[in-house]
């Protein structure tokens, strides 16, 4: 009898299951076997799964005729004890788990798969074996049969080989009664009697119904170990480490110097403040009084305005700047990593691309320019757009992977990157526009000339149109103030001669800035011959050069893709040279003359950002190919003992790139805010005034944002230049009258900074007859006009 039949309580023969019955034992018939054969048959067929009989006791004794009522009663008592013992047994135990232990595989006659010739246990006449006693207990077959197989896979084989099972069981009424009696004594209720089934503990556990907080916890757990989460956290940790000690004293120091960083700290503070109080005055900042549109005198970092809404005063401005400085590095690493992964590189290859893009030695010279460091939106937007269009460099276009949501996200990130400044954002906008045009031309060319028709989708087209319009709209709205400034200040426009001053020679591509820990001192002589080395030391890293060169010959990219990446590297390097490449006649000058806004880019060397990104992708191809080869070698070796060392070798390129990107960037202490800047109202002029002096003054004004004449930017307005010239003799009647015409009410002279300036003498000069008063607040002399 099979366990499936046992579970339903039926009493069908093994032959009805499709098995072939064995011939009767010699010396007996199928109807009435000899006593010894009956005993053996009982041991074979009466024990099902764990030594029990069928659920209702119909086959408690397979011999039927040889078992007496007394023996059945004794077997029932034994089965009862066997059932109790089975409750404490291991559910994984095979053989007679519900009996006293005699009828085990190989001893109790229950043969396992592959051991069908195991001898049955022998008993003396008139005595019941433990298997028979358990069979009379009749309780184990129900639950064990419900699983579809007997325990250990033995009950089915034993039943199917016993030709007497059907007749003997059907005729053995006393055995049936005895089995039911034994079942009652064992404490097992009949079906439907409401008593719990002790064998239910050995069944499969019910599927738990997850609670809402359980589902939330699992979802958060999956998010915490997702590749993008780990990549983001790794990028952040590396940024903190590589920029240290930026966050050691974030309220008092600034990386590189405190001139341009002070200006940019003020920019974030101003945008956050004015958007909360009077958004209509965003472009008319409190500095450069009484100039209009003064916020557009430099790249604005407007995309960081939400951060500027938190906190007030110079200390909060410094803290905000330092935090954004670190986060900008983290975003650049993460963005380049995601782009390389989307294009088809491996994890380790993508890590090399991300680190080399962020910590290239040439970028160390730009540590004081947050708008240059904040470039992570470029690769991140490209990765999102590629993902949304189902495209990768390695696998090409895959329509089934299209996702309009990623397209929207990519365009929004691109617009945010553009809002940080046109110095980096304008070339990105032209690259993005060129990519769209080239992709569209190739798409329609394949459809028209090659008859290649691939789906694109209405939703994807709509996402591109809406996202592109948002990106273009943001660009136009941001460009209007800058065009207005060029109209009001024509001298602010740059000429090709201005570009030539900052154009680096070819030697700049192998020269590192002084902030490089590895190459800084070694390249001191090479920097000395550069006209303006802060913008001309453009080394992306010798390790990156080597990995990219290897990627030309050994890579996951195809030969055509490698050549295209190499072409991109060469083109961007030529453009980064500005007018140094044959005067830029056929390279930079046409862009300067014909592309709107390109003449606002003062330093062509910053185009090295694109060279670094393309070199990183070439390097990622080489490292990814090496990592794949390592996996193949490790899988082919038995045992794979070299695997840990080979896998460790894949980390060497990453370690070398990180080491070459280490720096010795200084962290100077910012001059503290004078108390007078918190007390005196504007409009005011702070003396001495110059580009270097005015940028800290802008930072000091973040407590009250009173109007100040001072200001620092990419150009000097003519009016500010006149103020600096006229006030050289302050306080005198000419300067006082001129300042009054501008609307200036207070003049502050900083005693700590007047040494060596004309105000060193005039600061204490008498003011009688000028109609002004003088008072001192701390180390500041305040003249009230």
Which ranges of 225-369 does DSSP label H, i.e. alpha helix? 227-242, 260-277, 305-308, 314-343, 347-358
**pLDDT at 31 (0 to 100):** 38
**Cα-flanking dihedrals φ and ψ of residue 29, to 5°?**
-110, 170
Report how far residue 520's alpha carbon sits from residue 689's, in angstroms, rounded to the nearest whole number: 33
Taking only the tens place, the pLDDT of each residue in 374-397 is: 999 999 999 999 999 999 999 999
Report how far residue 417's alpha carbon sits from residue 72's, in angstroms, rounded to the nearest whole number: 88
Q: Residue 106: is its pLDDT beyond 90?
A: no
DSSP assignment of 296-309 equals GGS---GGGHHHHT
**pLDDT at 633 (0 to 100):** 83
Taking only the tens place, the pLDDT of each residue in 353-370 is: 999 999 999 999 999 999
Q: What average pLDDT score do residues 278-282 get?
A: 96
**pLDDT at 472 (0 to 100):** 96
Q: Report residue 640's pLDDT band, with 50, 70 and 90 as the boundaries.
A: low
What is the overall mean pLDDT for the chain?
A: 80
Q: Which 3-state string (H, E, C) describes 529-550? A: CCCCHHHCCCCCCHHHHHHHHH
Task: Please state which of the ranges 157-161, 273-277, 478-482, 641-645 shows the lowest mean pLDDT.
Answer: 157-161
Higher pLDDT, 262 or 131: 262
Q: Residue 52: is its pLDDT beyond 60?
A: no
Task: Please state which of the ranges 33-47, 225-239, 727-741 shows the lowest mean pLDDT.
Answer: 33-47
**pLDDT at 659 (0 to 100):** 97
Q: Is the Cα torsion angle 267, 270, 276, 279 positive or negative in sign?
A: negative
**pLDDT at 686 (0 to 100):** 96
Considering 78-87, 168-177, 755-764, the range whose residues carry the highest mean pLDDT is 755-764
**Looking at beta carbons, which pairs linking 388-391 to residues 24 or more positions away fall under 8 Å?**
388/460, 388/463, 389/460
Q: Residue 337: is its pLDDT beyond 60?
A: yes
**pLDDT at 114 (0 to 100):** 38
What letter does residue 663 receive in the DSSP assignment?
A: B
**pLDDT at 194 (0 to 100):** 66
Half-sphere exposure of 717 (CA within 13 A, CB side): 25
**pLDDT at 462 (0 to 100):** 95
β pairing state of 780-784 and 773-777 = antiparallel
8 Å CB contact between 556 and 625: yes
Q: Residue 460: is its pLDDT beyond 70?
A: yes
Hey, which residues does 396 pair with through a beta bridge?
392
Q: Residue 95: is its pLDDT beyond 90?
A: no
Q: Residue 504: is its pLDDT beyond 70?
A: yes
Higher pLDDT, 462 or 165: 462
Q: What percent of the chain has pLDDT over 90?
A: 64
8 Å CB contact between 261 and 321: yes
Q: Report residue 765's pLDDT band, with 50, 70 and 90 as the boundaries.
A: confident
Q: Residue 735: is its pLDDT beyond 90?
A: yes
Please choose, from the candidates 469, 383, 479, 381, the residue with its C-alpha nearest in 3D space to the C-alpha of residue 426.
479
Predicted TM-score (pTM) of the model is 0.75
Hey, which residues does 749 pair with through a beta bridge?
687, 781
């Amino acid at each position: 009898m099979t366990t499936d039949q046992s579970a339903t309580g039926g009493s069908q023969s093994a032959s009805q299951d499709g098995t072939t019955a064995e011939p009767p034992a010699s010396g007996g018939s199928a109807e009435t076997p000899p006593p010894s054969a009956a005993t053996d048959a009982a041991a074979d067929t009466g024990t099902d799964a764990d030594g029990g009989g069928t659920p209702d006791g119909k086959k408690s004794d397979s011999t039927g005729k040889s078992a007496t009522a007394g023996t059945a009663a004794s077997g029932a008592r034994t089965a009862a004890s066997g059932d109790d013992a089975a409750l404490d047994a291991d559910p994984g135990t095979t053989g007679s788990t519900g009996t006293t232990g005699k009828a085990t595989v190989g001893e109790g006659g229950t043969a396992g798969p592959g051991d069908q010739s195991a001898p049955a246990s022998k008993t003396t006449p008139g005595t019941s074996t433990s298997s028979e006693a358990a069979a009379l207990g009749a309780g184990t077959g129900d639950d064990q049969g419900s699983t579809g197989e007997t325990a250990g896979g033995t009950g089915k084989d034993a039943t199917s080989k016993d030709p007497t099972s059907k007749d003997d069981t059907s005729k053995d009424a006393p055995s049936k009664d005895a089995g039911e009696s034994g079942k009652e004594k064992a404490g097992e209720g009949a079906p439907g009697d409401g008593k719990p089934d002790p064998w239910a503990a050995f069944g499969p556990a019910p599927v738990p119904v997850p609670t809402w907080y359980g589902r939330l916890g699992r979802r958060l757990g999956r998010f915490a170990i997702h590749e993008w989460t780990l990549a983001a956290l790794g990028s952040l940790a590396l940024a903190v480490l590589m920029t240290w000690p930026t966050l050691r004293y974030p309220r008092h120091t600034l990386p590189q110097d405190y001139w341009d960083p002070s200006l940019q700290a003020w920019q974030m503070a101003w945008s956050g403040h004015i958007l909360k109080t009077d958004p209509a005055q965003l472009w008319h900042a409190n500095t450069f009084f009484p100039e209009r549109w003064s916020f557009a005198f430099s790249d604005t970092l407007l995309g960081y305005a939400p951060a500027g809404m938190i906190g007030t005063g110079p200390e909060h401005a410094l803290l905000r700047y330092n935090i954004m400085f670190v986060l900008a590095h983290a975003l650049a690493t993460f963005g380049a990593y995601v782009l390389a992964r989307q294009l088809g590189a491996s994890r380790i290859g993508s890590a090399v691309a991300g680190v080399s893009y962020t910590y290239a030695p040439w970028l160390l010279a730009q540590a004081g320019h947050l708008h240059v460091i904040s470039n992570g939106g470029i690769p991140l937007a490209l990765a999102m757009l590629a993902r949304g269009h189902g495209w990768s460099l390695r696998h090409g276009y895959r329509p089934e992977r299209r996702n309009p949501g990623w397209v929207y996200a990519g365009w929004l990130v691109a617009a945010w990157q553009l809002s940080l400044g046109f110095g980096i954002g304008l070339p990105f906008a032209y690259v993005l526009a060129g990519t769209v045009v080239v992709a569209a031309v190739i798409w329609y060319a394949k459809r028209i000339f090659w008859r290649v028709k691939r789906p694109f989708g209405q939703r994807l087209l709509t996402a591109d149109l809406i996202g592109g319009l948002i990106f273009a709209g943001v660009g136009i709205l941001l460009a209007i103030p800058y065009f207005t400034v060029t109209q009001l200040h024509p001298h602010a426009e740059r000429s090709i001669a201005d570009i030539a001053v900052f154009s680096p020679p070819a030697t700049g591509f192998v020269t590192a800035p002084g902030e490089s820990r590895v190459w800084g001192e070694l390249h001191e002589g090479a920097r000395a011959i550069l006209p303006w080395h802060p913008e001309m030391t453009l080394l992306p890293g010798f390790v990156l050069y080597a990995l990219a060169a290897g990627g030309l010959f050994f890579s996951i990219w195809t030969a055509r893709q490698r050549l295209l990446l190499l072409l991109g590297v060469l083109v961007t390097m030529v453009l980064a040279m500005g007018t140094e490449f044959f005067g830029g006649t056929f390279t930079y000058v046409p862009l300067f003359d014909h592309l709107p806004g390109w003449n606002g880019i003062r330093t062509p060397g910053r185009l090295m950002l694109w060279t670094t990104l393309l070199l990183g992708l070439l390097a990622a191809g080489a490292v990814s190919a090496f990592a794949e080869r390592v996996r193949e070698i490790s899988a082919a070796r038995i045992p794979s003992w070299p695997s840990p060392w080979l896998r460790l070798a894949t980390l060497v390129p990453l370690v070398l790139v990180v080491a070459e990107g280490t720096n010795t960037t200084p962290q100077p202490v910012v001059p503290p805010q004078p108390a007078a800047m918190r007390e005196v109202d504007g409009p005011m002029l702070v003396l001495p005034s110059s580009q270097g002096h005015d940028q800290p003054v802008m930072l000091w004004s973040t407590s009250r944002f009173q109007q100040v004449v001072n200001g620092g930017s990419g150009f000097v307005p003519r009016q500010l230049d006149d103020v600096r010239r006229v006030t050289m003799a302050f306080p005198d009647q000419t300067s006082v009258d001129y300042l009054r015409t501008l609307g200036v009410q207070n003049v502050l002279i900083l005693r700590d900074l007047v040494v060596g300036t004309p105000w060193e003498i005039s600061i204490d000069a008498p003011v009688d007859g000028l109609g002004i008063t003088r008072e001192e607040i701390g180390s500041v002399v305040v003249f009230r006009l």
